[in-house]
């Protein structure tokens, strides 16, 4: 079960023509897919489009009613390969993933797809994880569109426009036989708004039809001589067809204004922030009427030269608002204007920052600088006063909040064990991976030297695999393992007789993206069988040394890793560390527990407690844990100045605190409270007996203490 359920929201996918849809961008786009008569959908989860996969999974019933095939693909490469269904059939297909990382993974299949060309409309919805809140390296997807010659749609961020552009994307793809990217930024994915719905369309041609009437076209095969013809086709047929469709249907928009000697060119996704900045300068109103003409590129690739030249003709200067680097569009503009013999100057990254997100502030400053240069009469300084530098004291006082593992996370005890191991060994070279386990590289654990990509943890230790008497450790999650780690990492290690230690952290889900299922997910709420075991898979590719351990047994985990590091066995050693994602586990167990308590069944609820009096404020426990529920509070003793540890109400009683106390010989301040609900007669009898003996002894001690006081 995914972290967020859309079971209620997916009902909105059934809205018919004329009804008003209220909801999030992700859901609106899904509705747009159904309105477009899509025949198959898929993808791989990752922020900010994880919820798109969740919506599709929760909406499976609606999809199957419409005859739409849905697949949770094994990786972005799998998803891209699925799009081959549209090469020779008039099937509309859509997949989604996080970009640029997912696009990197998919790029082999995408290059082949783009070369062959498509018959059915093919749309890849990419969640562009750039700027504030991003969790990946900062790059542009734009380069992929250029290199494979796929179109890049970047719509103005409001729901009606996004849905409309999605529908037109299928048409554009079909008109130009080219697959395309539909780019959505984080904020657009989470945008709450409204639009007027249309009826859903059953696909005109379904995947079943395709199997019934198979169609083979020689020239769609990626082998010479077809590949040379395909390249020619890209430039001579598909490109002009795309330009024609974009122009005929007005996909790009001009918002004209009276100050005609200057203009702003903007990628669709940045339009709203430009309008807001102009409003601040008194040059636009809330409804979008602007004094400075604006050309909005809802299609950022390919560029429509004729439209650009027409917009810039008779202008002294334009400002190109293009986010990320390199500044592909700005560079292209120079060539286009030069060929057309325009005198119009182009500003862009000379005035706006060369890199980083174009926030409201940055855009406002950029437009102000542009106006100062070309129309000082319109420039007003609205920025300096509100962004005066703040005191150093404030900057020191406000702590950063790096991401960390959740309360009760099963990976915490594993990383605690690794940290204790490093205390014994000194530092170890550890290749880390993508997923929740990435957070092990941050304080308090700092376990892991490099992160190379999803599922590539094992492969990234390979340079260190043949050093006699020394071993490196590679960590990956179960998500990364199935994504590609089994082949790129483990099978390769077997073949090369790597002597390293490979640790696979099995929490049962792709937990970091919101708890989606993978082949080794255990039996749980939604899934009724485990489809594959990690241990079987690694043995299947030839690993002889495989061990499994429950993550919460910290001392045992530490001993097992030590065993692997010192074993006489030469060859890859695989350790599977098991512990179910606590978020998912709680979602399953909590309601059950509540039900038991209500129905009168005996139930024990555990949580931890720290004694303030014996806690000395050293926080060694925190340094081995980092659990959000293990926190601090002011010391109740006025003589002691360091805050004491404290377990807050969110504790789920996972047991890590206790294990750490024992494994690292910490203080005796920790205690596990076991609250008994609906006690049996035996429970009560024992309790009464205990009270009868312990009570008087305590009262005696109380009286004794009370005899002298100050």
Partner 1 sequence: MSKPIKRPVTIVISALGGQGGGVLTNWLIALAERCDYFAQSTSIPGVAQRTGATIYYLEMFPKASVENQDNPPVMALMPLPGDVDLVVAAELMEAGRAVQKHYVTPDKTTLIASTHRVFSIAEKMALGDGTGDSDVVTEAARDAAKEFIAFDMEHLAAELGCVISSIMFGAIAGAGILPFPREAFRAAIEAEGKMVEANLTGFDGGYQAAINSHKPQKQKPAEAIIPARPNTPEGEALVRRINALPEAAREYALAGARKLLDYQDMAYASDYLTMLEGFAARDRAPYGISRELARYLALWMAFDDVIRVADIKTRSDRVAKYRAEVGAKDGQIVHMVEFMHPRLEEIIGTLPPGLANLVEKSSFLTWFFGKFTGPRLSDSTKISSFLMLYFLAGLRRFRRRSLRYVQEHRQIGLWLDHIRSMMAENYDLAVEIIRCQRLIKGYGETHARGMASFRSIMAFIDTGEGNVTADKIIRLRTAALADDTGKALEKELLPDQ
In the range 618-657, which residues lie near partner 1 by CB under 8 A? 618-620, 622-623, 626, 628, 630-632, 637-643, 649-650, 657
Per CB under 8 A, contacts with partner 1 among 224-253 are none
User: Could you tell me the smallest distance in angstroms from the CB atom of residue 692 to partner 1?
Assistant: 9
CA 578/CA 520 separation, integer angstroms: 11
Q: 552 vs 220, 351, 410, 423, 537, CA distance in Å?
A: 53, 54, 7, 19, 24
> Binding of partner 1 at residue 387 (CB under 8 A)?
yes
Q: Which of 102, 203, 444, 457 binds partner 1 (CB under 8 A)?
A: 444
- Which residue lies nearer to partner 1 by CB, 60 or 285? 285
Residue 516: exposure state from Cβ atoms within 10 A (0-12, 13-18, ≥19)? buried
Count the helices and strands in the chain (H runs, E runs).
Answer: 25, 24
User: Could you tell me the smallest distance in angstroms from the CB atom of residue 505 to partner 1?
Assistant: 15
Stretch that binds partner 1, among 9-17, 319-327, 456-464, 702-710 (CB under 8 A): 702-710
Structure tokens at 114: 């783009």
Q: 41 vs 44, 112, 473, CA distance in Å?
A: 11, 19, 38
- Which residue lies nearer to partner 1 by CB, 564 or 663? 663
Q: Which of 107, 158, 206, 437 binds partner 1 (CB under 8 A)?
A: 158
CA 666/CA 662 separation, integer angstroms: 7
Helix (H) or strand (E) segment spanning residue 184: strand 180-185
Cα distance between the two ends of the chain: 59
Sheet strands (E) in 535-643 = 545-550, 573-578, 603-610, 630-633
Neighbouring residues of 302: CB distance < 8 A, sequence distance ≥ 6: 151, 239, 242, 243, 246
Neighbouring residues of 65: CB distance < 8 A, sequence distance ≥ 6: none
User: Could you tell me the smallest distance in angstroms from the CB atom of residue 536 to partner 1?
Assistant: 30
- Which residue lies nearer to partner 1 by CB, 211 or 384? 384
- Which residue lies nearer to partner 1 by CB, 164 or 499? 164
Phi-psi region of 177 (alpha: psi -120 to 50; beta: other; left: phi over 0): left
Per CB under 8 A, contacts with partner 1 among 166-195 are 186-188, 190-193
User: Could you tell me the smallest distance in angstroms from the CB atom of residue 236 to partner 1?
Assistant: 39
x/- mask, partner 1, residues 40-59, rule CB under 8 A, reads -------x------------
User: Could you tell me the smallest distance in angstroms from the CB atom of residue 572 to partner 1?
Assistant: 29
Stretch that binds partner 1, among 8-16, 139-147, 207-215, 684-692 (CB under 8 A): 684-692
User: Could you tell me the smallest distance in angstroms from the CB atom of residue 330 to partner 1?
Assistant: 23
Per CB under 8 A, contacts with partner 1 among 292-351 are none
Q: DSSP letters along 55-92, please?
A: HHHHTHHHHHHTT-EEEE-SSHHHHHHHGGGGTSS---
Residue in this structure with the two tokens 């970009």, named with its chain if needed: 99
- Which residue lies nearer to partner 1 by CB, 427 or 568? 427
Q: Which of 211, 228, 681, 707 binds partner 1 (CB under 8 A)?
A: 707
Per CB under 8 A, contacts with partner 1 among 453-512 are 512
458-469 core/surface letters (b: 16 or more CB in 10 A; e: else): bbbbbebbeeee
Strand partners, 23: 193
> Binding of partner 1 at residue 529 (CB under 8 A)?
no
Per CB under 8 A, contacts with partner 1 among 351-380 are 359-361, 364
Q: Cβ(321)–Cβ(265) under 8 Å?
A: yes
User: Could you tell me the smallest distance in angstroms from the CB atom of residue 196 to partner 1?
Assistant: 10
Strand partners, 96: 43, 125
- Which residue lies nearer to partner 1 by CB, 83 or 645? 645
Q: DSSP letters along 630-695, please?
A: EEEE--SSTT--SPEEEE-TT----SHHHHHHHHTT--TTEEEEEEEES--HHHHHHHHHHHHHHH
Structure tokens at 261: 């000697």
> Binding of partner 1 at residue 704 (CB under 8 A)?
no
x/- mask, partner 1, residues 580-619, rule CB under 8 A, reads ---------------------------x-x-x-xx-xxxx
- Which residue lies nearer to partner 1 by CB, 182 or 445? 445
Q: Which of 16, 224, 258, 469 binds partner 1 (CB under 8 A)?
A: 258
Q: Which of 84, 325, 331, 383 binds partner 1 (CB under 8 A)?
A: 383
Q: Cβ(219)–Cβ(88) under 8 Å?
A: no
User: Could you tell me the smallest distance in angstroms from the CB atom of residue 699 to partner 1?
Assistant: 7
User: Could you tell me the smallest distance in angstroms from the CB atom of residue 63 to partner 1?
Assistant: 26
Strand partners, 128: 99, 185
Q: 262 vs 316, 351, 512, CA distance in Å?
A: 6, 15, 46
| Number of amino acids touching partner 1 (CB under 8 A) | 126
User: Could you tell me the smallest distance in angstroms from the CB atom of residue 23 to partner 1?
Assistant: 10
- Which residue lies nearer to partner 1 by CB, 143 or 667? 667
Q: 464 vs 344, 474, 513, 547, CA distance in Å?
A: 56, 10, 30, 22
Q: Cβ(386)–Cβ(393) under 8 Å?
A: no
Per CB under 8 A, contacts with partner 1 among 271-300 are 271-273, 275-277, 279-280, 282, 284-289, 291
- Which residue lies nearer to partner 1 by CB, 137 or 673? 673
Q: Report the candidate in 541, 600, 608, 611 with the shortest Cα–Cα distance to residue 574.
A: 541
Q: Which of 16, 216, 390, 600 binds partner 1 (CB under 8 A)?
A: 390
Q: Which of 385, 468, 528, 600 binds partner 1 (CB under 8 A)?
A: 385
Per CB under 8 A, contacts with partner 1 among 392-431 are 393-406
């Amino acid at each position: 079960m995914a972290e967020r359920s859309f079971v209620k929201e997916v009902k909105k996918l059934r809205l018919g023509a004329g009804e008003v849809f209220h909801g999030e961008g992700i859901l609106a786009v899904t509705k747009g897919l159904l309105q477009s008569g899509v025949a198959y959908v898929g993808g791989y989860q990752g922020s900010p489009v994880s919820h798109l996969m969740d919506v599709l999974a929760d909406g499976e019933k609606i999809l199957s009613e419409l005859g739409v095939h849905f697949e949770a693909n094994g990786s972005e490469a799998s998803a891209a390969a699925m799009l081959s269904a549209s090469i020779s059939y008039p099937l509309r297909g859509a997949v989604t993933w996080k970009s640029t990382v997912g696009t990197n993974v998919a790029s082999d299949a995408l290059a082949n797809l783009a070369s062959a060309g498509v018959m059915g409309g093919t749309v890849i919805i990419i969640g562009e994880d750039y700027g504030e809140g991003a969790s990946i390296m900062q790059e542009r997807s734009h380069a992929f569109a250029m290199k494979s010659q796929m179109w890049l749609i970047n719509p103005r961020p409001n729901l009606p426009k996004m849905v409309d552009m999605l529908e037109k994307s299928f048409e554009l793809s079909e008109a130009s036989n080219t697959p395309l990217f539909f780019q959505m930024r984080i904020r657009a994915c989470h945008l709450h708004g409204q639009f007027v719905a249309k009826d859903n369309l059953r696909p005109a041609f379904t995947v079943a039809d395709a199997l019934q009437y198979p169609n083979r076209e020689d020239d769609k095969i990626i082998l010479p001589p077809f590949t040379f013809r395909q390249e020619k086709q890209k430039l001579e047929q598909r490109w002009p067809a795309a330009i024609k469709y974009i122009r005929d249907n007005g996909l790009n928009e001009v918002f004209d204004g009276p100050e005609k000697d200057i203009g702003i060119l903007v990628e669709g996704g940045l339009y709203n922030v430009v309008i807001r900045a102009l409003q601040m300068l008194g040059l636009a109103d809330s409804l979008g009427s602007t004094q400075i003409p604006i050309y909005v590129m809802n299609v950022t690739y390919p560029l429509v030269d004729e439209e650009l030249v027409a917009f810039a003709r008779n202008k002294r200067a334009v400002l190109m608002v293009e986010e990320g680097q390199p500044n592909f569009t700005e560079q292209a503009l120079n060539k286009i204007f030069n060929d057309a013999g325009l005198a119009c100057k182009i500003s862009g990254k000379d005035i706006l920052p060369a890199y980083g997100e174009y926030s409201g502030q940055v855009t406002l400053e950029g437009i102000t600088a542009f106006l100062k240069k070309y129309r000082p009469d319109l420039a007003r300084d609205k920025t300096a006063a509100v962004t005066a530098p703040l005191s150093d004291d404030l900057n020191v006082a406000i702590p950063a909040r790096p991401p960390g593992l959740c309360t009760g996370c099963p990976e915490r005890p594993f990383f605690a064990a690794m940290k204790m191991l490093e205390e014994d060994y000194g530092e170890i070279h550890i290749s880390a991976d993508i997923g929740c386990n990435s957070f092990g590289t941050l304080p308090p654990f700092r376990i892991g030297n490099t992160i190379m990509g999803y599922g590539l943890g094992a492969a990234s230790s390979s340079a260190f695999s043949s050093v006699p008497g020394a071993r490196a450790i590679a960590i990956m999650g179960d998500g990364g393992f199935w994504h590609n780690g089994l082949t790129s990492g483990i099978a390769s290690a077997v073949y090369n007789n790597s002597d390293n230690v490979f640790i696979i952290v099995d929490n049962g889900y792709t937990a970091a993206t919101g708890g989606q299922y993978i082949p080794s997910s255990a039996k749980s709420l939604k899934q009724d069988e485990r489809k594959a075991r990690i241990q079987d898979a690694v043995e299947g590719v030839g690993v002889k040394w495989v061990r499994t351990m429950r993550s919460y047994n910290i001392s045992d985990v530490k001993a097992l890793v030590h065993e692997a590091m010192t074993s006489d066995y030469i060859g890859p050693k695989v350790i599977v560390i098991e512990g179910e994602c606590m978020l998912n586990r709680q979602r399953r167990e909590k309601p059950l527990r509540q039900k038991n308590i209500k129905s009168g069944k005996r139930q024990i609820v555990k949580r931890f407690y720290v004694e303030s009096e014996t806690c000395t404020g050293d926080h060694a426990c925190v340094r081995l844990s980092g659990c959000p529920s293990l926190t601090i509070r002011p010391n109740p003793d006025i003589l002691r100045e360091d805050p004491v540890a404290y377990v807050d109400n969110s504790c789920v009683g996972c047991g890590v605190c206790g294990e750490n106390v024992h494994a690292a010989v910490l203080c005796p301040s920790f205690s596990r409270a076991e609250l008994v609900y609906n006690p049996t007669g035996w429970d009560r009898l024992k309790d009464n007996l205990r009270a009868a003996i312990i009570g008087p002894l305590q009262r005696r001690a109380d009286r004794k203490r009370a005899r002298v006081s100050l």
